Amino acid sequence: MATADDAPTVPGQALGGPGAPRQRRESDPATAAPEHLDLAALEAEAAALLPPAVADFYAGGAESETTLAEAPAAWRTWRLRPRVLTGLSAVRLRTSLLGSDVATPIGIAPWAYQALAHPDGERGSARAAAASGALLTVSTSASAPLAEVAATEPGAPKWFQLYRQHSPAHTDDLARRAGQAGYRALVLTVDLPVLGRRLRDVASGFALPADLPPGNLPTESAVEAESPVWTVDDIARFGDLSGLPVVTKGVLRGDDAARCVQAGAAAVWVSTHGGRQADPAVASAHALPEVVDAVGDDAEVYVDGGLRSGSDVFTALALGADAVFVGRPAIWGLATGGADGVSRVLDGLTAQLAHTMLLCGVPDVRSVPRDAVTPAR
């Protein structure tokens, strides 16, 4: 999708004022090789810093954790098909997501209770996203109230993720408040009719500390019976309540994606919920092409789940995603370095993506061709 700035760019120095998406200057690709980003080492460092129950809460999946384990490997079932002798000397990383300009197609997925990882919590993630020109998605189960996170770097684009986990009145109120606070889209998590069985949390007895209540928890007077299970009719309803475009997150089937778009969704987000819901489920890397084909040009498509390198991101874009989102890598960065740690993850992955694009002869993240990847044999 076109944006106002069509200059070719690669990772480089930040430009622009506070809160503006970070723009990346053109540089010589011969000297622009990305710094080494060792996410496995970062995960180990984060696990060593966190209390064991918190580390398991962030790391764990549902049931047998098959979905969790298979997610990264699924991206490696595709192979790059580089195009040579293209004369390419720079690549364009900027794009637009539901009308918001961003400096990178790599955003931060919603993740609960980030203050357990670092005292700055979601505010730290908001500062990091703004510094890297990335889009931040804020969870209903954030440690900080949605308005406070929205007010952190207010000029930077943020989306609010909505769960069906409180009373109908409180859930509706959260949707309204998200629109009023300046969020630019409402992300409905649609893969949670019931909570997945996360056995690590059961074994560890994970519970929130008494001094860290969720930032968007209803008051006792607002607690009622749990919300009824959502249907596609709720897509338009929540759009009306919030005044925002609606993204449906947690879609793994083409027919479901088509129903969501027909019901008013502006975008579909392919996700296994970090392997924390149905298990074993189809990997996002394998579900993505079917969803893209079903949606066509009628809506944007995003994906998360196991993305651990710039080549993974490139593969997702080639398969038709408009953007990708990372969850656990951002948490590892937050735990080990606060906002700066999250920025290092975002910038490192973006630099890897730019490097892969140069190697494959692809100039623009908005037009990575489908034939740039092929199934492994």
Is 163 annotated among the ligand-binding residues? Answer: yes
Is 155 annotated among the ligand-binding residues? Answer: no
DSSP conformation letters of 207-221: ---TT---TTPPPGG
Amino acid, single-letter form, for residue 247: V
**Tokens linked to 338:** 């606060």
DSSP three-state, residue 136: strand
Is 264 annotated among the ligand-binding residues? Answer: no
**Tokens linked to 306:** 């196991």
What residues act catalytically? Answer: 273
Is 158 annotated among the ligand-binding residues? Answer: no
Is 271 annotated among the ligand-binding residues? Answer: yes
Is 198 annotated among the ligand-binding residues? Answer: yes
- Residue 98 CA, chain-centre distance (Å), reads 14
Rounded-to-integer distance, Cα 85 and Cα 163, Å? 49
Is 89 annotated among the ligand-binding residues? Answer: no
Cβ contact 377:12 at 8 Å: no
Cα angle value 302/268/69 (rounded, 5°): 55
Report the candidate in 150, 143, 151 with the shortest Cα–Cα distance to residue 211. Answer: 143
Is 177 annotated among the ligand-binding residues? Answer: no
Is 306 annotated among the ligand-binding residues? Answer: yes
Is 337 annotated among the ligand-binding residues? Answer: no
Is 110 annotated among the ligand-binding residues? Answer: yes
**Tokens linked to 262:** 């027909």
Is 12 annotated among the ligand-binding residues? Answer: no
Does the bond joining 280 to the residue before it have cis omega, within 30 degrees of 0?
A: yes
Cβ contact 190:251 at 8 Å: yes
Is 276 annotated among the ligand-binding residues? Answer: yes
**Backbone phi and psi for residue 102, each to the nearest 5 degrees, phi listed first:** -135, 155
Detail the residues annotated as belonging to a binding site for glyoxylate: 163, 198, 273, 276
Detail the residues annotated as belonging to a binding site: 110-112, 139, 161, 163, 189, 198, 249, 271, 273, 276, 304-308, 327-328
Detail the residues annotated as belonging to a binding site for FMN: 110-112, 139, 161, 189, 249, 271, 304-308, 327-328
